[in-house]
Amino acid sequence: MRRVRDSLWFAPATAAIGAIAICILAYLIGRTWQPGISVDISEDTLITVLALFASSMLTVATFSLSAIITSASNVAASTTPRASMQVVTDARGRVAISSFVAAFVYSVISILGLVALRFGRLGRLSLFVGLIVIFTVVLVSFITWVDRVLQLGRQQHAVASLLENATRAATPSAISTFGGTAWDGVVPDGAVAVVDDRVGRVVRLDVEAAHAVAESSGARVILPLRPGDTVEPSRPVAWVIAPEPPDDDVAERLRRAVEIDRFRGPDDVRFHLVVLAETADRALSPGVNDPGTAIVVLDQLLAFFVTYRERLGEIGPTPRADVLVAPLTADELVRDAFGPIARDGASMVEVGVRLQKVLAALVRLGPPDLATAAMRMSSTALTFSRDGLLLDEHREAVLRASRG
């Protein structure tokens, strides 16, 4: 459902339906009440104004859509193709296009209604008031959209949006076990595997649904996969620990508790870090050779881990003891975020120094598992730098940075 809401067509379609509803309401008002009002807007005048408004809104909506497509292409070229979705799902862009489409649909439906039906004096006045309201919304949307469209295609805005999405996804529930109990990775003897014939990625875990299955069947459930993990027929999406083997209904309910899609979803914390790392990695490629962007991304990753550290302290108790969920480890996050930069930035001293300073900050900040993962990544990055840097003084600079 969330993917549908984030689609570019959903908000304009909803706004268009609302515009049609306003037209219908104006017609019903005009046919139901006939008060003696002095204001009389003729059909010809109203049709002329609506026609002008419709032609203008069609042009503006086409321009806005073109701007979004161009910005998405620019972001894909300057960061990574996976970052272009941040532009397509931009909330302000969707609101702007929705208002333009709604205004266009309202004008066209109103013109058709005035030609085919008798709205009455109050109905025509209602249409005119509706036009004023929609025009006000369009005007505000257009002013904010002009400011937004100047930022959308810029790399700086794209990187900031990627960080925002990563921190939004890193809720206390998402960085722990979604309300379940942490699984130690051991499958008990007698556990029955539940597999799914589909191939894709986990995009969401419904621990409450798994708990309902466990409670109703007197079993314990293991969910070994997390958002972002690959699903294929040989890899169980769940394990059931129960005196009796699970029936088909239990297995199907557990499959529904693990939502699968072709692509990684917005609840996947690791995916957002991968996209940030890919942005830095692209900047470090010989064809681009832009270490400054990689350093900017490293600063954004440090900001993410500071937020991650704070939200670790917000993790509450795990109420579902009968649902075991694979935990998200700090080592996984650190490898996703810094591994590609350590590998492909090994020949650039400025990137190596900044990477070591960021990792040293994570060691100081903690907690212990994050500090351990950062120290391990620091050691890996030093190994890459020793082989990638040509000058001893550059190697020494990176080594000094690793000591904090």
Where is average pLDDT lowest: 59-68, 85-94, 126-135, 262-271? Answer: 85-94
The answer on pLDDT for 358 being more than 90 is yes
State how far the Cα of 107 lies from the Cα of 329, in Å rounded to an integer: 55
Contact 276, 301 (CB under 8 A): yes
pLDDT at 360: 95
State how far the Cα of 311 lies from the Cα of 328, in Å rounded to an integer: 13
Which of 5-14, 70-79, 93-102, 381-390 holds the top average pLDDT? Answer: 381-390
* Spatial CA neighbour of 95 closest among 1, 164, 2, 10: 10
The answer on pLDDT for 390 being more than 70 is yes
Report which secondary-structure segment, H or E, holds 260: strand 258-261
- Token output for 311: 């939200």
76 burial (CB, 10 Å; 0-12 / 13-18 / 19+) is middle
For 197, which DSSP code? S
Report which secondary-structure segment, H or E, holds 63: helix 43-78
Distance of CA 237 to the CA centre of its chain: 24
**Residue 230 CB coordination number (10 Å):** 12
Count CA atoms within 13 Å of residue 322 on its CB side. Answer: 16
220 burial (CB, 10 Å; 0-12 / 13-18 / 19+) is middle
pLDDT in tens, 10-48: 767 787 788 888 888 887 887 777 666 666 778 888 889
pLDDT at 369: 94
The answer on pLDDT for 3 being more than 60 is no
Task: Check residue 179 and give left, alpha or beta (phi > 0: left; psi -120 to 50: alpha).
Answer: left
pLDDT at 326: 92
> So where are the chain's domains?
2-153
CA separation, residue 20 to residues 98, 135, 346 (Å): 13, 15, 59
Question: Which residues lie below 8 Å from residue 360, measured CB to CB, with a gap of 6+?
Answer: 374, 378, 401, 402, 403, 404
Which amino acid type is present at position 96?
A
Distance of CA 286 to the CA centre of its chain: 30
Residues above pLDDT 70, as percent of the chain: 92
Where is average pLDDT lowest: 27-31, 160-164, 334-338? Answer: 27-31
Question: Which residues lie below 8 Å from residue 52, measured CB to CB, with a gap of 6+?
Answer: none
State how far the Cα of 225 lies from the Cα of 184, in Å rounded to an integer: 13
Which of 52-61, 136-145, 150-159, 274-283 holds the top average pLDDT? Answer: 274-283
pLDDT in tens, 82-120: 776 666 666 677 777 788 888 888 888 888 888 887 877
Task: Check residue 80 and give left, alpha or beta (phi > 0: left; psi -120 to 50: alpha).
Answer: beta
pLDDT at 45: 86
Q: What is the mean pLDDT of residues 202-231?
A: 91
- Token output for 301: 């990753």
The answer on pLDDT for 8 being more than 60 is no
State how far the Cα of 53 lies from the Cα of 131, in Å rounded to an integer: 9
pLDDT at 159: 85
Where is average pLDDT lowest: 15-29, 324-338, 385-399? Answer: 15-29
Q: What is the mean pLDDT of residues 263-283?
A: 89
β-strands 220-223, 200-205 pairing:
unpaired
Quote the Cα angle for 175-179-185, to 5°: 70
- Token output for 247: 């029936």
For the whole model, what pTM was predicted?
A: 0.78
The answer on pLDDT for 1 being more than 60 is no
Average pLDDT, the chain: 86
State how far the Cα of 281 lies from the Cα of 221, in Å rounded to an integer: 39
Please report how the helices 155-169 and 43-78 are oriented relative to each other, as an axis angle in degrees rounded to 10. Answer: 90
State how far the Cα of 353 lies from the Cα of 349, in Å rounded to an integer: 6
pLDDT at 44: 85
DSSP β-bridge partners for residue 259: 204
Cα-Cα end-to-end distance for the chain: 46
pLDDT at 34: 65
